[in-house]
């Protein structure tokens, strides 16, 4: 349990340290250190869970089980690699005069603030605190979206703030209804604890829980970026600094989905109907198809990949909605590989935009000739996210397809169609950007592509052969969520 | 349900629920920003009263803390901050011409009916009073959204946002006698940070478009221009 407290304490110290110490040249490196220590703490926590099973802290305030512990490690890992990327990236942004010391101070302090909110969402056992932390994540990142202070970025941040704020208010109403159902059967102070609710899920009032789940799905769904609540997402991703896009896509969306799934487990226990699952399948499928079509219309490279994020979150929501062991296993795997691939892509996209001096797809050309590492990174990343074998995204999408064929065969054509449209949408934009002649005077930039290589190598590894301990871990989480083992 | 048969506490809660709902409608039709802020402060005050009443009759001490937090945040700090913005921008004489005022008010009324309809299944397991309280809270939430849609000024959007919070808070107090203390403190903290961030945003929007009319924030969209 000490490891969990440590994982929460380190980013908290980080917020204060970066806010008070002011910006120096090596602040970016210090941020990497903070995140490395966090990663070590979370690995320690994961080993504890692996040895002892589910851990509940003494006051029942925190709950670590196989489902959230792997997301905690993933969060820490992506947080670390993104911070490695962000250090030279932000230094470059400062050199070209887009940022100054005060804003960098805010950036690093809020980077840790965001990490703290993410760890808190994942570790807490209290559904109310989960909401508070989710809202905290919005508040921490909203000023980062407007970090460049351009009219566009301020507009994006305002939209992000209002839409996510109003959206997540629905989730609070859902949580209040959940609490209302819970106080009718149990004591007040402990009634919102997930572990208590889960044990007594049978006795919770099904009517109230059904209404509550609609609100919870709409609320957290805004954060997941489900269509039609997604319009903040491409704006916030395209106008904020690129490291922020990487962590928003890689972590925030995942953690919002985590919150929905936690609530779904309670609702399923109480209602014995498949209502929650159908809702998630519907929203997931809609998001997936709409985003796949919208990929074709994009003109901004970061908007392109944020629509790809919506598409993949749609697939995951859909898979969790199907709900059997195979679909749940696939969704868990997809969460991992999408988060790794997408953050790697945003890292390369950030560098590509710096090389070309613009984010406009029409103006980015000849990346492979200018800086082969960035060009190939972008190409391989896109191949991976489009679901080509042998990458891990292929494995998870294939499993989702299998599960769909098994449970809802008539949905399979839609799924295949969407994957095809999305693939075409990505490649018609990517192909001219990486190949082709380089424009006059386009020069390489200083870039650290280790995070990209590590992420893509991990995704490749998961595509070729999922390591035994990881498969075991996923199947434990699957048993927890869906009740039976996929293997 | 015969009102006269209910105990004093329930009767008072019902009246307060009606008044909270009324303030939401008053805000919806309000074109002057200073009055809008005043009505918002009134709504906060009604919430404080509800909380104190609940704390007193249920003998629940942590609700007093919530009452103080509501009073400080929703009745004093946020209205003060918004008022200062309005005076600073010299907007207090402007009357915002609301499009389709009648439609908006009718829409608000139908949202209220809709709230009752959505929460109808709850009646099977709980007293009718609960339905009233929860439906009023939900309609305050929905009316807050409608307020944000129908007004163009950023200040009105903040009022709408905060009145959504008010609706949620009312539900928490009346239906469940307040959330656990730690959650309530967390929510209050989030509201405080959000209020401060809104203050910062006003500054940024003003320097960027020299106005607080959010309709001018329209550069980002999917349609080619």
pTM score, two decimals? Answer: 0.93
Distance CA A196, CA A116 (A): 25
The three-state (H, E, C) secondary structure of chain B, written as one string: CCHHHCCHHHHHHHHHHHHHHHHHHHHHCCCEHHHHHHHHHHHHHHHHHHHHHHHHHHCCCHHHHHHHHHHHHHHHHHHHHHHHHHHHCCCCCCECCCCCHHHHHHHHHHHHHHHHHHHHHHHHHCCHHHHHHHHHHHHHHHHHHHHHHHCCEHHHHHHHHHHHHHHHHHHHHHHHCCCCHHHHHHHHHHHHHHHHHHHHHHHHHHHHHCCCEHHHCCCCCCCCC
Distance CA B24, CA B142 (A): 10
Distance CA A362, CA A379 (A): 17
The dihedral of CA A467, A470, A476, A481: what is its sign? negative
The total domain count for chain B is 1
Distance CA A263, CA A178 (A): 9
What value does the mean pLDDT take over residues A424-432?
Answer: 91
State what percent of residues in chain B have pLDDT above 70: 96
Say yes or no for a CB contact (<8 Å) between B194 and A165: yes
At residue B209 the predicted structure's pLDDT band, cuts being 50, 70 and 90, is: confident
Nearest to A131 by CA among A182, A197, A175, A183: A175
Q: Looking at the domain assignment, is residue B223 inside a domain?
A: no
Task: Give the CA dihedral A300, A302, A308, A310, nearest 10 degrees.
Answer: -110
- Provide, as residue numbers in chain A, all residues whose Cβ is less than 8 Å from the Cβ of B144: 166
For A97, the 3-state DSSP assignment is coil
Say yes or no for a CB contact (<8 Å) between B219 and A184: no
pLDDT value, residue B102: 87
Whole-angstrom CA distances from A398 to A228, A369, B2 are 26, 34, 61
Distance CA A146, CA A158 (A): 8
Residue-range definition of the domain harbouring residue B40:
7-216
Distance CA A233, CA A226 (A): 10
Cα B194-B196-B201 angle, rounded to 5 deg: 90
Nearest to A311 by CA among A377, A247, A225, A403: A225
Residues 147..206 of B with a Cβ closer than 8 Å to A: which?
148, 154, 157, 161, 164-165, 167-168, 171-172, 175-177, 179-183, 186-187, 189-190, 193-194, 197, 200-201, 204-205
At residue A415 the predicted structure's pLDDT band, cuts being 50, 70 and 90, is: very high
Q: Looking at the domain assignment, is residue B142 inside a domain?
A: yes
Nearest to A79 by CA among A118, A41, A43: A118
Q: Looking at the domain assignment, is residue B200 inside a domain?
A: yes
Say yes or no for a CB contact (<8 Å) between B181 and A172: no
ipTM of the complex: 0.92
**Over 60: is that where the pLDDT of A123 sits?**
yes
Burial A408-426 (b: 16+ CB within 10 A, else e): beebeeebeebbebbbebb
Return the axis-axis angle of helices A206-224 and A253-271, rounded to nearest 10°.
170
Mean predicted lDDT score pLDDT of chain B: 86
Q: Looking at the domain assignment, is residue B222 inside a domain?
A: no
**Over 60: is that where the pLDDT of B225 sits?**
no
What value does the mean pLDDT take over residues A256-269?
Answer: 93
Q: Is A157 on the interface with B (CB under 8 A)?
A: yes
Q: Looking at the domain assignment, is residue B1 inside a domain?
A: no
Nearest to A147 by CA among A83, A101, A112, A99: A99
Domains of chain A, residue spans: 281-487
pLDDT value, residue B1: 60
**Over 70: is that where the pLDDT of B208 sits?**
yes
């Amino acid at each position: 349990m000490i490891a969990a407290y440590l994982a929460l304490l380190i980013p908290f110290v980080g917020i204060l340290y970066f806010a008070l110490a002011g910006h120096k040249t090596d602040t970016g490196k210090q941020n990497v250190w903070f995140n490395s220590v966090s990663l070590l703490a979370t690995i320690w926590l994961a080993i504890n869970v692996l040895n002892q099973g589910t851990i509940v802290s003494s006051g029942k305030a925190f709950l670590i089980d196989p489902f959230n512990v792997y997301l905690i490690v993933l969060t820490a890992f992506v947080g670390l690699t993104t911070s490695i990327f962000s250090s030279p990236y932000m230094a470059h942004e400062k050199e070209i005069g887009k940022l100054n010391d005060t804003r960098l101070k805010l950036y690093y302090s809020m980077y840790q603030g965001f990490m703290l909110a993410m760890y808190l969402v994942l570790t807490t056992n209290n559904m109310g605190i989960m909401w508070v932390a989710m809202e905290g994540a919005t508040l921490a990142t909203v000023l980062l979206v407007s970090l460049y202070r351009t009219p566009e970025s301020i507009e994006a941040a305002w939209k992000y703030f209002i839409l996510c704020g109003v959206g997540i208010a629905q989730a609070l109403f859902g949580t209040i209804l959940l609490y209302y159902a819970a106080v009718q059967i149990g004591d007040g102070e402990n009634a919102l604890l997930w572990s208590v609710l889960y044990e007594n899920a049978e006795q919770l009032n099904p009517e109230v829980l059904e209404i509550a789940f609609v609100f919870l799905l709409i609320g957290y769904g805004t954060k997941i970026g489900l269509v039609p609540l997604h319009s903040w997402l491409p704006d916030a991703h395209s106008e904020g600094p690129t490291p922020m896009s990487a962590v928003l896509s890689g972590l925030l969306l995942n953690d919002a989905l985590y919150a929905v799934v936690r609530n779904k487990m309670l609702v399923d226990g109480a209602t014995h109907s498949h209502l929650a699952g159908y809702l998630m399948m519907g929203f997931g499928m809609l998001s997936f198809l709409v985003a796949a079509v919208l990929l074709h219309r994009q003109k901004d490279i970061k908007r392109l990949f944020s629509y790809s994020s919506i598409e993949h979150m749609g697939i995951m929501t859909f898979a969790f909605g199907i709900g059997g062991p195979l679909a749940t296993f696939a969704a868990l795997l997809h969460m991992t590989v999408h988060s790794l691939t997408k953050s790697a892509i945003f890292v390369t996209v950030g560098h590509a935009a710096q090389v070309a001096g613009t984010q406009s797809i029409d103006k980015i050309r000849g990346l492979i000739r200018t800086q082969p590492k960035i060009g190939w990174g972008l190409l391989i990343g896109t191949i991976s996210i489009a679901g080509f074998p042998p990458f891990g995204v292929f494995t998870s999408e294939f499993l989702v397809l299998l599960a769909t064929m098994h449970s809802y065969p008539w949905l399979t054509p839609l799924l295949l169609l969407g994957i095809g449209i999305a693939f075409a949408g990505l490649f018609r934009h990517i192909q001219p950007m990486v190949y082709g002649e380089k424009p006059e005077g386009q020069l390489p930039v200083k870039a650290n592509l280790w995070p990209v290589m590590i992420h893509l190598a991990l995704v490749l590894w998961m595509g070729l052969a999922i390591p035994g301990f990881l498969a075991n871990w996923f199947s434990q989480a699957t048993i927890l969520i869906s009740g039976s083992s996929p293997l | 349900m015969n009102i006269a048969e209910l105990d004093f506490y329930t009767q008072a809660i019902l009246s307060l629920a009606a008044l909270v709902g009324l303030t939401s409608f008053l805000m919806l039709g309000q074109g002057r920003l200073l009055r809008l802020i005043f009505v918002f402060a009134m709504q906060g005050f009604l919430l404080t009263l509800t909380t104190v009443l609940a704390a007193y009759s249920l003998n629940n001490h942590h609700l007093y803390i919530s009452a103080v937090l509501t009073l400080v945040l929703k009745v004093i700090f946020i209205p003060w901050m918004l008022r200062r913005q309005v005076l600073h921008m010299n907007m207090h004489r402007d009357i915002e011409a609301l499009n389709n005022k009648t439609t908006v008010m009718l829409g608000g009324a139908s949202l209220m009916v809709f709230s009752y309809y959505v929460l109808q299944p709850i009646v099977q397991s709980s007293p009718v009073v609960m339905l009233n309280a929860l439906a009023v809270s939900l309609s305050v939430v929905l009316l807050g959204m409608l307020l944000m849609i129908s007004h163009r000024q950023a200040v009105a959007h903040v009022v709408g946002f905060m009145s959504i919070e008010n609706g949620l808070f009312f539900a928490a107090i009346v239906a469940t006698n307040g959330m656990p203390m730690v959650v309530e403190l967390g929510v209050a903290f989030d509201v405080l940070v959000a209020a401060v961030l809104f203050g910062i945003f006003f500054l940024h929007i003003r320097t960027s478009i020299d106005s607080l009319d959010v309709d001018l924030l329209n550069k980002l969209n999917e349609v080619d221009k």
